[in-house]
Structure 1
Amino acid sequence: MSQPFISICIPTYKRTDLLKKLLDSIQVQSFKDFEILVNDNSPDESVKNLVQSYSASLNISYQKNEPAVTAVENGKRVMLKARAPWIKMMHDDDWFEGVDALQQFADAAKNSGKDFIFCASNQVYLEKGKTEKEFLTADRKQQLDDSFFSLIYLNVIGHPSVVMHKKDDSIQYDSQFNWVLDIDYYLRFLKAHNGYHYIPETLVNIGKGNTQESYKYYKNSKVEIPEYFTLLTKYESDLHLKNPYVFHMIWNMLRRFKIKSIADIKATGYTGKIPDKIEEIIAFQKSIPRIIIKQTPWSKKLMLRCFKKITTA
């Protein structure tokens, strides 16, 4: 069997109606040099039966996890099985927009000279029936070009389904993360490879809804605080004092969760090293009336003042 150019990797769990939408969108793609790998965490045979119904028309293979594994592990396993030089991760609630979407990714892979490619997307709110287009604006591109670490402040790349990258088994998802999983992966990949290429076309639809794995972690201090602080331990201990984007992330997190002391941080379950000068940031915020600091424009101005005061002291 010849090696395909792209491996479309699909970690899945039970949602056959959404998975069918994804497979139908793959079936009509004009670019055909790909394989599809489906890794299934479902407790029944519904996904297997659906995949088998496409076996005559698509180069598709199926693997069931027995026993089931975590969502992170499921993603790791399916990428490791890829045979192609390029990996296109697609979550089972996302799907391609237009018949030439995969062709545009393939063209970028062949012509851009970059190992990491991502595109604009349609954010589709499944329960509300609402769609929003998400592009890399000039401001967001500037942040990414200023520093890949700006992803810690704001993930301007987005969902894994908007990304295609060279296969590199030395870089895998870190199973200690859930909320910052993608940011951590992007940072390590971009640092190890040669930058990125952006396609300003909405090639992928991202299904948004309360069935997503990440939904249960959203605005959860016992997830966000330990994971962001753990992420920072992978880099310089004072990265947030060197990088204003990282400082801004910490400022916003302390503000959002109304952190008043180191004890509040430890109460979230974080047991690692506390980043430098966190107590000074907390003290600075405590001196500001809540009615002022909760307003975004004021918060940004105050954050810059705090950053300058602490980093030049």
Structure 2
Amino acid sequence: MNFPLVSIIIPTYNRAFYLKLTLDSIIQQTFQDFEIIVVDDGTPNNDNFLLCKQYEKLRYIKIENSGGPAKPRNVGIKGANGKYIAFVDDDDLWMPHKLEKQVEILVNNPEFGLVHCCCETIDENGNLKNKIIGRPGNSHVKHGNVALRMIGNWTLMTSSVLLSKDVIEMVGLFNEEMPPAGEDTEYWTRCSFFTKFYYADESLVRYRVHNHNISGEKKKYKNLSLYLKNVLRELKLKHVIDQKKYKILIQNLCRMQIKKIKNYTYRSVINLFKLDIFWFLRGRNMKLLLFVIIKR
């Protein structure tokens, strides 16, 4: 069988040491029909350029610093030749069979436009931390239309995703107006309304956790809910979702804010959702909000 080309997009900034480890994990893939696009977000030296010269099937693009991964990813998407697109952060690692298994899933299940998996976490030195992330809970839909379950409950790990370029053409690009942290969750949320997701229940990625990670939880959730709310309203206006689904998703967003309320104030929830919140504040949801406020 002739498999389609995969374009692998890596946004990077001034981390040549980790980038080399990432590239080595890609080169060692059992599936080899790929191109690598490294988009350097304005690193002030030539270390990344000199590193990338050592690899075949790799294009290096340097842009002015944008302050986050959204623009580099978009630049990579625009230059991609593959039928499928994969993303990997410049400090994460792929297991050798990652691409092979995910490409086979999409080829053999054309009704799905995106496949993802869970990730093992590693520290700065590559040591396993014995924590698995990116795995949907038992109560969540793992395959198919996941939009109603996804918001406020779980999210995809970007380095684990492989998706069809056809999906990107329907959904559009990453939101470059979002502050760094959360722009990937906002994007996968949009994708969930346009295609079916397939979850491969296997750790095919190692996600590095260290002091230079761009997305702390507090920073991420501070802006994410506002952008997700705007996405939902836009989808409702375009008749992608109806009023009933909109209410359910707003409730999930409110629930996500309440879970994070210990980091902010309950007024942030009220100010964010205003009139929408009355759909959420009913029955046990109201009890949950009061419990969290009193506990504080």
TM-score of the pair, normalised by structure 2: 0.79
Retained in 2: the 8 A contact 1:16–1:50?
Answer: yes
Q: Deviation at 1:62?
A: 0.6
Give CA deviations for 1:267-286 in whole Å, capped at 9, x if unaligned: xxx7xx7442459949x579
The answer to whether residue 186 in structure 2 is matched with residue 151 in structure 1 is no
Give the letter aligned to residue 74 of structure 1: P
- Identity %, equivalent residues: 21
The answer to whether residue 194 in structure 2 is matched with residue 192 in structure 1 is yes
TM-score of the pair, normalised by structure 1: 0.75
User: Paired residue for 1:248, among 230, 255, 258?
Assistant: 255
User: Paired residue for 1:112, among 104, 109, 116?
Assistant: 109
Structure-1 separation of matches of 2:289 and 2:116? 42
Aligned to 1:134: 133
Aligned to 1:204: 205
Retained in 1: the 8 A contact 2:49–2:60?
Answer: yes
Q: 1:286/1:106 Cα in 2 relative to 1: closer, same or farther (>3 Å)?
A: closer
Q: Deviation at 1:180?
A: 3.2
Aligned to 2:67: 70
Give CA deviations for 1:40-77 in whole Å, capped at 9, x if unaligned: 011211100000122xxx21111111x22232111111
Give CA deviations for 1:152-183 in whole Å, capped at 9, x if unaligned: 20224x22111000012342111232343222
Q: Deviation at 1:248?
A: 1.8
Structure-2 separation of matches of 1:255 and 1:24? 41
User: Paired residue for 1:102, among 77, 99, 104?
Assistant: 99
Give the letter aligned to residue 155 of structure 1: W
Retained in 2: the 8 A contact 1:4–1:35?
Answer: no
Q: Deviation at 1:228?
A: 4.6
Structure-2 separation of matches of 1:261 and 1:277? 12
Structure-2 separation of matches of 1:135 and 1:224? 17
* Structure 1 SS opposite 2:177: coil
Q: 1:14/1:179 Cα in 2 relative to 1: closer, same or farther (>3 Å)?
A: closer
* Structure 1 SS opposite 2:276: coil
Q: Deviation at 1:82?
A: 0.7
Unaligned runs of 5+ in 2: 238-242
Q: 1:140/1:214 Cα in 2 relative to 1: closer, same or farther (>3 Å)?
A: farther
Matches within 5 A, 1:131-280: 131-134=130-133, 136-137=135-136, 139-142=138-141, 147-156=146-155, 158-167=156-165, 168-170=168-170, 171-177=172-178, 178-193=180-195, 195-215=196-216, 218-219=218-219, 223-224=223-224, 226-236=226-236, 241-243=247-249, 244-254=251-261, 256-260=263-267, 265=271, 274-277=274-277
Structure-1 separation of matches of 2:103 and 2:280? 49
Structure-2 separation of matches of 1:234 and 1:188? 10
* Structure 2 SS opposite 1:50: helix
Larger radius of gyration: 1
Retained in 1: the 8 A contact 2:148–2:248?
Answer: no
Retained in 1: the 8 A contact 2:181–2:219?
Answer: no
Aligned to 2:240: none
How many residue pairs are counted as aligned between the two chains? 277
Aligned to 1:25: 25
* Structure 2 SS opposite 1:142: coil
Retained in 1: the 8 A contact 2:7–2:35?
Answer: yes
